Each structure stands twice: as C-alpha cells, then as structure tokens.
Structure 1
Amino acid sequence: MPSLTRTAMLLLLAAPLTAPLHAAPPAGTPEQRAVRAFAAAKKAGPLDLHAFLVGMPKGADLHMHLSGAIYAETFLKDAARDKLCIDVDTLSFSKNDKGPECGAGMAPAAEVFKNQHLYDQMIDSFSMRAFVPSTGVSGHDQFFATFGRYGGTSKDHAGEWLDEVATRAAAQNEQYLEIMNTPTLANAGRLAGGVRWPAAPAVIADYGQDITGTNTAELSKLRDQLLAGGLRDDIAADQKDFASALASRNEIEHCGTPAATPACSVQIKFLFQILRQNAPQFVFAQTLLAFEVASSNPDVVGLNFVQPEDAYLAMSEYTRQMRMVDFLHGLYPAVHISLHAGEVVPGMVAPEGVRFHIRQAVDLGHAERIGHGVDVMYEDDPGKLLKELASRHVMVEINLTSNDGILGVKPPFHPLPDYLAAHVPVALSTDDEGVSRIDLTHEYVRAATEFNLGYLDLKTMARASIEHSFLQGASLWAQPDVFTRAVPACAASPLGSETPAAACLAYLKANTRAAQEWELEHRFKVFESNL
C-alpha cells in the first residue's frame, strides 16, 4: 500500500528524519556537536543554515551537465572573445560569417558590457533568473530553450568551463564531479545517416509499444555495419576532446605546481551524453559509440541519455532505446550506466507515460543510478519498484531546484520522502546549476528546509554520492550503503586517518572509489572537529 508509506513519511516531516532513520551518535563526539550545530543553524533560519552547510563535506555531484553548469556571465565573456554576434530579437548567439560587422538585427557580443539592459536580458535569456511562467511559456520551455541560445559558444572553452565548476565545487567542500558531456559525433552521425533501421518503426507510436528492429540478430547486424563503416574512428577524436579539456583545466588551475589552486583537489570524470531525440539508427550509433568510448577511455566512466524526457521521440522511442542499451550492455558489461528516467509528471504527458520509465531503465537499461526519478509513485506497482531499487542499491540523483523549475514539483508532491522511507539510496545534485543559478549548497539547504532533513541525513547522502560514483575499484564499506563498518583491510584504522595502516593504505591505492570515500571521512573528521 504505497499511499500509506507516503502518508507515514509525510507525518515524519513534522520531526527531523534523523530520529527514525539514524542511531544517535554518542554524546559529546564531534559528530554529535555537528548535529547540534546544524540544528541551531537551521532554527536560526536559511541564511545561517547556508553558512553552516557551505563548508560541510558533500562528496560528489553525480548529475551535472557541463553545458548547463556554466553561468551566463561566462558565456557572454567567451562570446565576446570569439567575436560572436547577438540576435537582439531572440537574445541568442549567432556566428558571424559576414566579416567584421554583425548584420541587421545583430549586435557584437562585446556590446553587452556597454549596455546594461542587454546584459541583463542575455543573462535572463540564458537562465531561469527572473523567469515567470506565462501563457504558452512554462518553466520547462524556458529551461530547455536556454541551451540553444548559447549553443554557438566554442567548445575550445571547455577547459575554462571545467575550471569554473571545479572552483565552485572546491569552495563548497566537494571532491568529485561526474560531468555529462557530448563529444564529437561526426562520424557516428554520418554512418547512421547511411543505414536503415532493421525494420521500419511505426509512423505514430504509442508510449513504449513499438520495439521493431530490436531483436538480437537485428541489432548485431546493425552494430557490425556501423563498426565496419568506421564508427571507431570517432574514439580518438572523442578522447582528444576529453583529454584536451582536462589538460586545459589543469593548466588554468596550475595543478601539480606550488601555485595550484584549491580546484585541483576536485577530481573530474565524464559521462558520455547520448541525445535521445533522434531516429533510432542515430540513437543506436551514439549509444554504441558511448559504450566503445567508455570501454577504452578511463576519463569516461559511463553513459547517460539526455534531452527532455517528455518529447515525442523520447516518449515513443523509450522502450526501443532501453532495448538498445540492454543489447549493448550484454557486449560491454563493464560500462557503467546512469539514466534520466521519471523526469515526467501527470499532465505533462498522458497517464500511460508515467507508468514505466524507471522500471524499464532498471530492468532493461541496467541503470545503476536513476536521474530525477520524479514519477516513481505513478509507476506500476510503485511499492514493488521502490523495494527493487533498494534491494539492488540503485541510487537516485535528486535535483530539487531542477524538478521545481522544469516540472513544477516540490513538497508535498516530490517523492524524496518515499525514497527515504523505502531506504533507496539518494544523493543531491545540481543538474544544470548555471541555468538554475544555484550551487550544491543551495540544494542541501533546500533539502534540509523543505523536507526537514537532519545533519545525519545529509551526511548519509554525501557518503552515498561517492559510494555510487563510477570511480574505479571497490568500496570502502563492508556492506553496500551501510556506512558503519569499513572493509577488513581498513577496519583497524580510524576512518579518515591521515596515517592508515599498511594494509588499508594498499587497499586505498588499489581502489580509487575507496580512496575518495576515505578522503570524505577525513573531511568530515576535520569539519566536525572544528565546530
């Protein structure tokens, strides 16, 4: 009876969730002092709470799109350097192919720094700042429209963008970012344009009903065609994209030198973004390339599907796309998978459209993490689904501000309490912090105030963020999602110690994920001891 679960959880919002979900730490310990300091800051108000939380160790942000993480101010500076033009009617960038002067209805991007009104208009156009929904223009429309407006900005600035997000993360005591990014797809796109889907898809398809062309023989043949045509030629170009961005970031931050900035302490890995609003042969080619790249490039630790989940192709092709992932997962089982699923709500799509996305992402798509997961209580047999997510340790990436801005979902209609009640692992993330004009601390404040979470709840989420990262190696913890006992190699060493025993040190050196978890425990030790 899922409704009873939710009712019970909502009643618990009258008291901190730390009471039913956590054993109280021993009185007088640094952790207990942190619990009291958090409670005092929360009682004082959101500004005091923010001041407390900005320094709290947060582990990782696992759901971040690079293009959406950059603030509009950065894009304006980049456009001015690149001598782009601004379409003053659409408030978007346009490449200048007509010489030194911008054409009619255009203004040089550098003009924004002399024209405050245009400057403000551009920031509003590129973000959710000052946005008020109106007839025919929803938060969803504004949010997704921003990407096309600054889309002409050169990817040569990628290193600068990585520095921006790493610098912001370091200032908030984050230590790891998994950033979604779409690399070069030129060859994959060309090849996909030259092949036919094995069986003609339905012209008009119901949600999840059309799976033509997805049996093993058909997909095997299509994969062979794409590989024979040279799809792997994109791997080197993609590797160069990722490597050059990281190298540029390291140069900007002076990493490895005495002048290294704090941002160097933030480790960055990538997830290969697959654009799902395309015909099936294009999606399959992208997905195949993503599996190939993630299998061969240690900087790319997994893949994800992106673009609005409520769009026609995303909805009508959903099951076919999950079957593609299922097929390729069988050939590349070591590649990690996180999937946007359940970023839809009733009214946005027909009732049938909110019944199966998370379920298929897990059962067909082999998702180890789910991005958003907002429609979980509308899916078929939600109680059973929640139990499966918990038992399989599938983590949900919670994006509170994004869910509010795009879907109009906030308490009491957000499913975070249901996930917590079912013991599904969750972690907070930003989604597109530049578009939303937020940061991860903002999401921590929002979770604490809107869902009445306590310090230990947030600490568990921070731990879960590293536990469910796609970093190399095994976990620090003896049991999944039980953050009380370390693996035998490290059980004798105080958690987060600067001098772990030799066996533990060897284990941490062999397992990057465990090493980052150890680092998080060290940061908690320092943070709590200084309160």
Structure 2
Amino acid sequence: MSGTAWAADGAPAVRSNQARVAQVMHDLSGNGAKLRAFLQAMPKGGDLHNHLGGSVYAEDFLRWADAENACIAVAGHQLSPPPCGEGQVPARGLAARDAAFYSATVDALSMRNFVPGNAAASGHDQFFSTFAKFGGLGGHRAEGVVVTLEQAARDHVPYVELIANPPQAAALGKRAQTLAWNAKDFAADLAPLQGELPELVSAAREDFATLDAQVRTLMHCGQADASPGCGVRYRYVPYVLRVLPPPVVFGQMVMGYALVQADPERFAAVNIVAPEDNPVALSDYRLHMDMFRFLSTRYPTVPLTLHAGELALGLVPPADLRFHIRDAVDAGARRIGHGVDIGYEDDAAGLMAQMKARHVAVEINLSSNDGILGVKGRDHPLQMYLAAGVPVVLSTDDEGVSRSDMTHEYQRAVQEQGVDYATLKQIARNGLTYAFIPGDSLWNDDGSAPGAACAASLRANAAKPDARCDALLARSEKARMQWQLERDFAAFETQILKGAY
C-alpha cells in the first residue's frame, strides 16, 4: 500500500519495533479473542464516516425509552413519545415484563439476528428500515453523541466526524420547494434563499453549541470523574437527503455549505446520504452532482465527502454501477463514502489513478457493506484500492445498527482482508490525515512520508519535537493530533513487546 515506505527510512529501533509487533499481530490473527484484545489497544486515527443515530445501539434507545416511559408499536417496534395509544406498549419495565418482545425490538432496531437470505427482508431493507423505528424517539441527540464518543474512546479513536443535521436544513429545504425551480439555473434558485441564510445559520450554530454543552455536562468534562469520551475530538457533517425532490435537496445543500463556511471549527464538511439505489436517488444522481459543483464555486473552502458507489450488481442494473464514484470525484469530493462498486466503474483503473493523484480517500465500512450489500471477503474492493495506492480509511458507518465498533472493523480488515500491521498502521494514520481537521498535516501530500517540518523528529522517534516541528504543532491542530498518534503508537508497540499479548 502507498504510505508505508517512510518507516524504512526511520530509526533502526523504530523499524525493528514495528516489524516485531507486526509478527505478534500475525501470530494472533488466527485467534479472534486475542486479536480483538490486541486491536482494541491499538491506537487508531479518525472515524470519518459515522452517522449519529445509527451509531447508537438499540439497547441505549430502549434504555432512554424506559426512562421517559415512551411507547413501542406492537406490530413494527417503532419508538414514539408517550402517551401510548392502541397497538402500542409502554417501554418502561419492558425488559423484565416481556423479555421476548424486548429482544424482538432490539432485532427490529438493528441487524442483530438478521439471517441473510431471509425472504421477509433483505439486509439492505432491514438496515434502512431501522432509522424510522428509532428516529421517532427524539430528544436524545446529546446522549447519542455521548455513547458514540465513549465507544470511540474505548477503541482508542481520538477523532470522530458525526454525520448530523440541524433542523434548519429541513426548513430551508421546505422553503426552497415553495419557490420557482429551474434545474438549469442554480444561481436563480439560490438567490431567494440567500436572504434567509444568516438567521438560519445563526440558529443552527446556537442549537449545536447548546448540544455540545449538553454533551460536556453529561460526560462531566473538566471534572475529576470526567468520561474518557471527553478526550475525543469531534465535529459534525451536515448532509443532504438524496431521495427528496430537487428543490428540497438544493435547499438542504445550501444550508450545509453555509453552515460549514460559517463555523468550520464545529462543522467539517457536507455529505449526501440515504439509499443510493432509491429510484429518485438514481434518476437525480447527476443533477445532485451538478448542484455540488455549482455550490462549491460559491463556497470554495467547504470540503465534500460524498456517499458514492454503495451499490452492488443485482441491487441496480449494470448501467447504474458505471459512473457514480467518478461523478462524485469530478464533483469535488475529497473523500468517497463506501466506493463498493469500483470494479464496475468505466475505466476503474484510471479512476483509481485519479483518486490517488488527487489524494481522494475512500471510507471503507466493512460491516455495513456486508450487511447491506452482501459484499465481503474476496468480493470486497479494499485490496483493490490498496493496490492502486488510493488512500484508505476504516470507519464504522452505523455501528449501532450493524452491531459493530471500530475495533471490529480493524479485526475484519485483518482476518477477512489480509491487511498486515504496517498497512493497518497507515490506515490509522490516514484517519487523521484525510480528516477535515484544521491546519497543515504532519505528512506530505499523499500521507506517505513525513513533511519537511517534522521529518527529523519522526525518524528519530523523538519524545519531543525539535524547534521546526514544534512550530508546526503550535499552529496546526491536525499536526498536533497526528503527532500524538505517533507517540501513542510508540507506547503501544513498546507495551506489546513487553509481552502484553
């Protein structure tokens, strides 16, 4: 994989430690429990593809439902606020009162106990059906952030980008739908929305500032009993729902761009979500990419990370597998979410060469790719991307729905994809290099070697940076996080070689 060669130029002790730890991981790879413990302790970079809500486990939703005496539909297991009506049962005391129904609800809100080939539901349909079932509970966004950050801390993930929208995005989308629409004149479509943006953006920023304050309070940040989650840096990624009418999509998109531009410390990038195989998503795909191109000229500093290629043969006709990733890259995406159908793209090799040259990373989500699309093992394109030198990051996608966590994604990469320790370590580094964290990177443009400022310190495995490197760290949050990751790797490898496993 592109990006591991720099270690060969490092200090002999660094090279030796990495090689010895690589052998330890190789020896453990045949034992799932031992490998899990090794990988749990391994430092990881960023989780760059994490849907808030989908990252929450069903048991957490049911715990919150119990606390507020919310309701559960008997037929479909949808959660809703009290009071309960016909066809609903109270959530309070459910686990003790009716363990079988409680268990069935956990299954309905996740992929737990889903059996591939089940005629009643495909993995795709089961996965996407869960959001409507737990989404009705509402009011627990701060708690959702907390459990996500605390899990990240347990997995030694220092940075998370949470895909989450303010209510103002939906409001601007609805407003756009009431106005004249011209798919060939986005400037005219944008003009009447611009006057409403300052108030909506201000309200959204205030809402998320309040949310973050609630998160800090719940985790006791700054106190003696602070949660480990307080140490996880996070930012939000506003999104567009690709299954809605074009004016609504455009309005949501405008809101996302304006919000990221106004508050890049809290909001990282803009994304597009929802099932890519939806008929509206398919028919409007190129229109959506045109919208992104247009708005990126108006908001040139706003990054894009776009779901693209979350498709498989049979789910859609072959014609729909030929261009989605390429069009997203051409629209300016700096990261591609999923990218599963790369092998079906026209000139796949040329496209991956383009991604490598432009430093466009791909967010690999092994568990959800398996659960939703049935793509895993040798059928997954992870090794294809690695061989082509495309930057790869591992992410969780919807860890609650998929019943996974970041450590499990790393374990699947090792045991199912044959990823070795040096490559896994580079993937972890990529999780910060390709994150939308402010500041210059510790690494060069493609993340494969140290940049000039810190090259000497890194190659010497220095505990403290030299003066030139220290100057970079002082002005760059990204470089500081990357430097800390290297120190964490050094500590981890030392611990492993002391016989921790």
Cα distance between partner residues in 1 of 2:411 and 2:140: 31
Residue 69 of structure 2 corresponds to residue 83 of structure 1: yes
Residue 108 of structure 1 is matched in structure 2 by 90
1:173, distance to aligned residue in structure 2 (A): 1.1
- Superimposed CA distance per residue, residues 85-134 of structure 1 (whole angstroms, 9 cap, x where no aligned partner): 111111111333xxx5x222111121423221111011000000001242
Residue 351 of structure 2 corresponds to residue 385 of structure 1: yes
Residue 33 of structure 1 is matched in structure 2 by 20
- Relative distance call for 1:499 and 1:77 in structure 2 (3 A) is same
Residue 181 of structure 2 is matched in structure 1 by 197
Q: Residues 257-272 of structure 1: matches in 2 within 5 Å? A: 257-272=223-238
Residue 110 of structure 2 is matched in structure 1 by 127
Residue 132 of structure 2 is matched in structure 1 by 148
Cα distance between partner residues in 1 of 2:9 and 2:456: 21
Cα distance between partner residues in 2 of 1:421 and 1:493: 26
Q: Secondary structure, in 3 states, of the residue corresponding to 1:473? A: coil
1:323, distance to aligned residue in structure 2 (A): 0.3
Cα distance between partner residues in 2 of 1:266 and 1:91: 33
Letter matched to residue 314 of structure 2: G
Letter matched to residue 317 of structure 1: D
Q: Residues 471-486 of structure 1: matches in 2 within 5 Å? A: 471-483=437-449, 485-486=450-451
Is this contact kept in 2: 1:495–1:522, CA < 8 A?
A: no
- Relative distance call for 1:296 and 1:440 in structure 2 (3 A) is same
Letter matched to residue 225 of structure 1: P
- Superimposed CA distance per residue, residues 291-316 of structure 1 (whole angstroms, 9 cap, x where no aligned partner): 00000112001110000000011110
Residue 426 of structure 2 corresponds to residue 440 of structure 1: no
Question: What 5-or-longer segments of structure 1 have no aligned partner?
Answer: 1-8, 10-16, 199-212
Cα distance between partner residues in 2 of 1:282 and 1:490: 48
- Relative distance call for 1:511 and 1:18 in structure 2 (3 A) is closer
Aligned-CA RMSD value? 2.1
Residue 499 of structure 2 is matched in structure 1 by none
Q: Secondary structure, in 3 states, of the residue corresponding to 1:153? A: coil
Q: Residues 445-484 of structure 1: matches in 2 within 5 Å? A: 445-483=411-449
Is this contact kept in 2: 1:18–1:455, CA < 8 A?
A: no
1:432, distance to aligned residue in structure 2 (A): 0.3
Residue 203 of structure 1 is matched in structure 2 by none
Cα distance between partner residues in 1 of 2:4 and 2:238: 39
Q: Secondary structure, in 3 states, of the residue corresponding to 1:264? A: helix
Please give the TM-score of this superposition, normalised by the length of structure 2.
Answer: 0.93
1:472, distance to aligned residue in structure 2 (A): 0.3
Please give the TM-score of this superposition, normalised by the length of structure 1.
Answer: 0.88
- Relative distance call for 1:20 and 1:267 in structure 2 (3 A) is closer
1:520, distance to aligned residue in structure 2 (A): 0.7
Is this contact kept in 2: 1:187–1:231, CA < 8 A?
A: no
1:496, distance to aligned residue in structure 2 (A): 6.8
Q: 1:92 aligns with which of 78, 100, 109?
A: 78
Same amino acid, percent of matched pairs: 40
- Superimposed CA distance per residue, residues 255-296 of structure 1 (whole angstroms, 9 cap, x where no aligned partner): 223332222111011111211111100000000010000001
1:231, distance to aligned residue in structure 2 (A): 3.6
Cα distance between partner residues in 2 of 1:499 and 1:412: 42
- Superimposed CA distance per residue, residues 205-254 of structure 1 (whole angstroms, 9 cap, x where no aligned partner): xxxxxxxx23xxx11111001123x2432212221232222211111222
- Superimposed CA distance per residue, residues 117-160 of structure 1 (whole angstroms, 9 cap, x where no aligned partner): 11101100000000124225100000000000011122x32221
1:490, distance to aligned residue in structure 2 (A): 5.8
Residue 333 of structure 2 is matched in structure 1 by 367
Cα distance between partner residues in 1 of 2:223 and 2:455: 31
Cα distance between partner residues in 2 of 1:18 and 1:158: 37
1:493, distance to aligned residue in structure 2 (A): 6.0
Q: Residues 503-518 of structure 1: matches in 2 within 5 Å? A: 503-518=468-483
Is this contact kept in 2: 1:400–1:443, CA < 8 A?
A: yes
Q: 1:338 aligns with which of 305, 309, 332?
A: 305
Residue 194 of structure 2 is matched in structure 1 by 227
Cα distance between partner residues in 2 of 1:482 and 1:437: 33
Cα distance between partner residues in 2 of 1:495 and 1:462: 20
- Relative distance call for 1:493 and 1:427 in structure 2 (3 A) is closer
Q: Secondary structure, in 3 states, of the residue corresponding to 2:304? A: strand
Q: 2:386 aligns with which of 417, 420, 443?
A: 420
Question: What 5-or-longer segments of structure 2 have no aligned partner?
Answer: 497-501
1:507, distance to aligned residue in structure 2 (A): 1.4
Residue 122 of structure 2 corresponds to residue 138 of structure 1: yes
- Relative distance call for 1:22 and 1:500 in structure 2 (3 A) is closer
Residue 74 of structure 1 is matched in structure 2 by 60
Cα distance between partner residues in 1 of 2:297 and 2:4: 43
1:479, distance to aligned residue in structure 2 (A): 4.0
- Superimposed CA distance per residue, residues 1-39 of structure 1 (whole angstroms, 9 cap, x where no aligned partner): xxxxxxxx9xxxxxxx99999859857732222112111
Q: 2:160 aligns with which of 174, 177, 182?
A: 177
Cα distance between partner residues in 1 of 2:324 and 2:445: 29
Q: Residues 492-503 of structure 1: matches in 2 within 5 Å? A: 492=457, 497-503=462-468
Equivalent pairs, count: 490
